Chain A
Amino acid sequence: MELRQICLSGIRLGDTRFRFTLDKPDEKLMVSIQEAGIVEPVIIKAKDNAFILVTGWRRVEAAHASGLKEVPALVLPSELTDLDIFRLAFFESYAQKDFSLAEKALIINKFIDFGLGQEELIRKLLPLLALPPERKTTDLLDQLAGLDWALPAIHRCRWKLPTARLFLSFTHEEQKLIISLTDAFNHNQQAEFIELLFTLKKRHRMGIEAILSDREMEQLVRKAKEGKPQAGQELLAALKKRVSPLVTKINREIQLAVKEINLPDKCWLDYDHSLEQKSISISLEARSAEELDLALKDLGQSLKAGEWDFLFRQLSKKIDE
């Protein structure tokens, strides 16, 4: 490899055949390049009097943004095939970076395009990427890589394989809608959001546009798209209510029963919201025997007044009652 100073304008940034990283230059990289320039050379391939970038995409983008004219680059020997070059680019990053699922999808897709055989891909590459070494994994990620418009969001939100698998089952329009809402949720909420939509879609045999079309949902979706605080959480709660109508209804009834009880100050009541246990737990805060005695007496009075019977009835309620 030959080390040269390369004019930035000579690099064809539109040719992204070797690119699989999706991070953009951050503040720290910008400062570093503004202060010290590019210290570590990027890697390029010479082609038809121009250059194709192999590694160093963030550095080159930062250099452009900082107004640099030239960058140090290692020029690859011309006899290397695109597969050799991509392998080199992959292993150059492999030790330094935890790839997101979106990046792993691009890596697999490009290795397939450059002609790497399925066996090597599955047996050698997938374990390196901490992915299940199975053909269905490469099939799924190859398909995901085809959704280039969605990859930045999938990368940013650090999706995992199960979420991506569900996502791919939606129609193109539905996928667009899901991606448009990703910013309303944190990572775990996104996985849950997609899971809930998948369940409702399959259970009711209707598209998610129809699922999200009633008045309550429409408002929540609008708020989520506008980035209103808590909008994502509210949307999730509304979807959960639809996926779990029985648990939601029983919980609502239990909570109404809890409200009927005059709990003493500094006394809290809790129960198993999954409804697996019929018991309740009560916690009290007391700083002296007198305080404790008073709280217990208050509890005893409320018990005598029959305020708790309704709650226990709700907790033990059978479905058909």
Chain B
Amino acid sequence: MRNDWRARSHAGWWAFLVHRVSGILLTLFLPLHFLALGLALEGEAALDAALRWTEQPLVKAAEVVLVVLLAAHAAGGIRLLMLEFLPWREWHKTLLAVAGGVTLAVGVGFLLNLV
């Protein structure tokens, strides 16, 4: 018999889930990203058309999600490396809070056109 959500509802498991889901979504995005960049090989017009397509509001909104996913995955990855490769200490929830804060700050900053 396997565990259900009652066994998994703690910070470390949620952090894993965010890391895994953001990782999968970013992996799905990457080929599309390269495909779009590859349009440059077909000439200026093709790339410009693609870039104009990304100006649509819905695509812009998706871009914010993408930045948040990237921030979450990067901050989560640095959190794991620090937790496992630095001498062990009881700071995994602090690291999680910092990673969450960084993700939020990057997301809000991008939304407000700060970066």
Whether both chains belong to one complex is answered with no
Q: B residues near A, CB below 8 A?
A: none
Q: A residues near B, CB below 8 A?
A: none
